[in-house]
Amino acid sequence: MRRLTEELQARGLEADLVTIPLIERERFDLIRSALAWRSLDLTEVGNRKVDAVIATRFPSYAVKHPNKVVWIIHQYRQAYDQFGTPWSDFTSSAEDRRTRETIAAIDRLGLSEARRIFANSKTVAARLARHNGIASEPLYHPPPLVGRYRTGPFGDYALTVGRLDGWKRPDLPLRALAHAPEARLVVVGRGPEEERLKRLARDLGVESRVRWVSRAGEEALLDLYAGARIVVVAPQGEDLGYVPLEAFLSGKPVLTTDDAGGPLEFVIDGETGFVVPPRPDALGAALSRAWEREDALAALGHRGRERASRLSWDETIGRLLSAAGLSLP
């Protein structure tokens, strides 16, 4: 949200970013964090009226302000759709049940006070409707380095970018390599799964075709996108995901799965990329096609680029300000 603040400031608005860390050592910490936000009345700061607040993450939307717009970027998914999966540590204990109920109450309170509610994707809006019974409007925004992505010739590697965390399914592109003997993979990211994934690559016999990039600076990342053959997006139930948009703005098609969530709002099978079942053989077959049909990749990437280029901060900020009854100076 630093970027949103900067974009508002660049348009002549006085905007400040307010953050409070979300502490998660024990369950009550979540409630404490919500209480910290609730205790903040941002109607006035330093004897100056604050015209509006835009809240984006759990539990910041518990903040008090008469002109509050919520743009949901992050809900506490462990209490909702991730409950009962390996990605949530909530159990069926009494305290966990009460914590989940209270998280839902915090969401209800914070969102019911909002003048208008946006979600950062259709996927997030649908989840909000399903779990909280709250309607919201999808509102996209461009990826972080918009204006700097560049195209380049199709290289000899598929690219995957993201935290190496279990729920992001970083093993899937590696397993796909075993079914696509001509393909190579560059993995950008780090996380708790890194060592396990490196062992997996050895066990699968694909180690020599994988390059690991734990940290990539902005320029290095732009180069990697520009030189990729295709970008693989493997997470399940992603909110939105910047990676497909970054790939498209670099002129590259995206290979993703039919349970990817947000990426499917942009990745259309045969139009801007490939959408396959979340199985290594299916991803591997798509990778092989990408290696055989370079001519088709350009057309897919081009259409993706057209689509992603329509996203702009002008549009996003215009809608947020209009929802708050404000306009640009």
Q: Which residues make up the interface to another protein (CB under 8 A)?
A: 28, 31-32, 34-35, 38-39, 62, 95, 98, 101-102, 104-106, 108-109
Q: How far is the CB of 81 from another protein (least distance, A)?
A: 20
SS3 at position 27: helix
Q: How far is the CB of 34 from another protein (least distance, A)?
A: 5
Sheet holding 185-188, edge to edge: 210-213, 185-188, 158-161, 230-233, 254-257, 273-276
Q: How far is the CB of 124 from another protein (least distance, A)?
A: 22
Is the CB of 33 or the CB of 256 nearer to another protein? 33
Q: How far is the CB of 325 from another protein (least distance, A)?
A: 25
Is the CB of 110 or the CB of 143 nearer to another protein? 110
Q: How far is the CB of 160 from another protein (least distance, A)?
A: 39
Q: Compute the distance between CA of residue 282 and CA of residue 115 in angstroms, rounded to an integer.
A: 45
Helix, strand, coil percentages in the chain from 3-state DSSP, rounded to 5: 45, 15, 40
**Per-residue DSSP letter, 167:** G
Is the CB of 104 or the CB of 200 nearer to another protein? 104
Q: Compute the distance between CA of residue 242 and CA of residue 225 in angstroms, rounded to an integer.
A: 12
Q: How far is the CB of 26 from another protein (least distance, A)?
A: 9
What residues have CB less than 8 Å from 322, skipping those under 6 apart?
Answer: none
Q: Label residue 138 exposed, middle or buried (CB < 10 Å: 0-12, 13-18, 19+).
A: middle
Q: How far is the CB of 106 from another protein (least distance, A)?
A: 5
**Tokens of residue 240, six digits:** 């939105």
Q: How far is the CB of 141 from another protein (least distance, A)?
A: 29
Q: Compute the distance between CA of residue 283 and CA of residue 261 in angstroms, rounded to an integer.
A: 17
Q: How far is the CB of 94 from another protein (least distance, A)?
A: 10
Question: Do residues 88 and 76 touch, judged by C-beta distance below 8 A?
Answer: no
**Tokens of residue 12, six digits:** 């002549």
Is the CB of 108 or the CB of 199 nearer to another protein? 108
**Tokens of residue 264, six digits:** 């499917």
**Angle in degrees, CA 301, 305, 309, rounded to 5:** 175
**Angle in degrees, CA 228, 312, 329, rounded to 5:** 150
